[in-house]
Amino acid sequence: MKRKIQIEVGSLSQALDRFERSWERAAKTGARAAEVRLTFESLPLLLRNLTPARWALLEDQKRHGPLSINELARRLGRDYKNVHTDVSRLIEIGLAERGADQRVGVPWDIVTAEMKLAA
């Protein structure tokens, strides 16, 4: 089964409302939703966290499997410190994972993004 994460721009209250609906649905049916979402409060905040360099890093990790930060930096032709900073942030927001062997990988097969224009 493919693992999917939805990235979106929305308010904290919208995210909490979604969580509450999922919680209530699970309490009634006993079924847990397989939906995973990452919500940013604004497009500038999303773009600060998911830069083109970080996206390239995710793509390389997905293509080649879990790698050390040193190997990622070498493969991408980037400075180790910058890659370390990017990897740390991607782990922090849930788009990457560090294994027991300290290699970093991407658990997601599909990343989708949704940004609605406010009316």
| pLDDT for 33 | 61
Q: Are strands 104-105 and 97-98 parallel, antiparallel or unpaired?
A: antiparallel
Spans of the chain below 50 pLDDT: none
Query: Residue 81, class by beta-carbon neighbours within 10 Å (0-12 exposed, 13-18 middle, 19+ buried)?
Result: exposed
Cα dihedral across residues 92, 93, 96, 99: positive or negative: positive
Residue 45, helix vs strand vs coil: helix
What residue segments make up the domains of the chain, in order of their start?
A: 4-114
Q: How far apart are CA 6 and CA 35, in angstroms?
A: 8
Q: What is the pLDDT of residue 10?
A: 81
What DSSP state is assigned to residue 33?
A: P
The fold adopted by the segment(s) 4-114 is: Arc Repressor Mutant, subunit A (1.10.10)
